[in-house]
Amino acid sequence: MSPASTAWWPLILAGLLAALALWLNQLTRPPIGDGDGGFGHDPDLVVENLVATAFDSQGHPRYTLSAARMVHYTDDDTTTLEVPRFEQQVPGAPAIRAAARRGLVSSNGDHVHLLDAVSMTRAAHRGMPELVLTTDYLHVTPEAESMRTDKPVRLRQGTSWLAAESLYFDAKARILDLKGGVEGSYEIQR
């Protein structure tokens, strides 16, 4: 070996060690997220056996939301609910109760999605029997006082019933729109 080639060996060895160190560093580094800003779809808050009550300005309960489990996610600011139950009691109006196996609430609470075995009941009122709505999916917009589903739905009041493939209900405008294979039976209450 010539004296010039022996001078390069330490540099070659140092270069190989640097390359090995970079390669090992890449192997041990956690994977970079897919544009999630460092936030995966991991919960930041979990509540077991939730019971939350909202009150009006006079201190009277407006509604109660309960769930076996509530999970909030940071990345999209959504909340999931397991076995959600909702009850609204407004003075002078019939109580409204809703239940499902699962629920999803949007970041600002404007949209509530009830999923799987959804049941909504309006209590008997002014001589009318209770009204029960059942479906597998219900999208509720609380502030707009509206709800919709594109899944088969069934309404029952006493012995009368209606069934359809989709439903839109606007409580403020007093509109009930049923579409797709609508059928039913209405019996006069005596």
> Rounded to an integer, what distance in angstroms lies between the CA atom of residue 99 and that of residue 112?
12
26 and 47 share a domain? no
pLDDT of the residue at 102:
95
> Rounded to an integer, what distance in angstroms lies between the CA atom of residue 31 and that of residue 33?
6
Q: Is the pLDDT of residue 41 over 60?
A: yes
pLDDT band of residue 88 (cuts 50, 70, 90) is confident
Please report, as a single letter, which amino acid is at residue 121.
T
- Domain assignment of residue 35, yes or no: no
> Rounded to an integer, what distance in angstroms lies between the CA atom of residue 84 and that of residue 47?
13
Task: Give the domain extent around 122.
Answer: 43-185
- Domain assignment of residue 36, yes or no: no
**Whole-structure pTM value:** 0.71
CATH code for the domain of 86: 2.60.450.10
pLDDT of the residue at 187:
83
- Domain assignment of residue 1, yes or no: yes
> Rounded to an integer, what distance in angstroms lies between the CA atom of residue 154 and that of residue 121?
12
What is the pLDDT of the chain when averaged over all its residues?
Answer: 81
90 and 127 share a domain? yes
109 and 64 share a domain? yes
10 and 90 share a domain? no
Domain count across the chain: 2
> Rounded to an integer, what distance in angstroms lies between the CA atom of residue 122 and that of residue 9?
86
21 and 61 share a domain? no
Q: Is the pLDDT of residue 32 over 90?
A: no
Which tops the pLDDT comparison, 61 or 181? Answer: 181
pLDDT of the residue at 10:
59
pLDDT of the residue at 2:
58
153's tokens = 């739905």
pLDDT of the residue at 9:
61
129 and 74 share a domain? yes
> Rounded to an integer, what distance in angstroms lies between the CA atom of residue 117 and that of residue 130?
19
pLDDT band of residue 146 (cuts 50, 70, 90) is confident
104 and 23 share a domain? no
56 and 116 share a domain? yes
4 and 75 share a domain? no
- Domain assignment of residue 97, yes or no: yes
66 and 139 share a domain? yes
- Domain assignment of residue 53, yes or no: yes
The alpha-carbon radius of gyration of the chain (Å, integer) is 29
Three-class secondary structure assignment of the chain: CCHHHHHHHHHHHHHHHHHHHHHHHHHHCCCCCCCCCCCCCCEEEEEEEEEEEEECCCCCEEEEEEEEEEEEECCCCEEEEECCEEEECCCCCCCEEEECCEEEECCCCCCEEEEEEEEEEECCECCECCEEEEEEEEEEECCCCEEEECCCEEEEECCEEEEECEEEEECCCCEEEEECCCEEECCCCC
pLDDT digits (tens, 9 = 90+) for 151-190: 999 999 999 999 999 999 988 898 989 999 999 998 876 6
pLDDT of the residue at 28:
56
Q: Is the pLDDT of residue 36 over 60?
A: no
9 and 89 share a domain? no
Quick one: what percent of the chain has pLDDT higher than 90? 33
22 and 58 share a domain? no
Average pLDDT over residues 105-124: 88
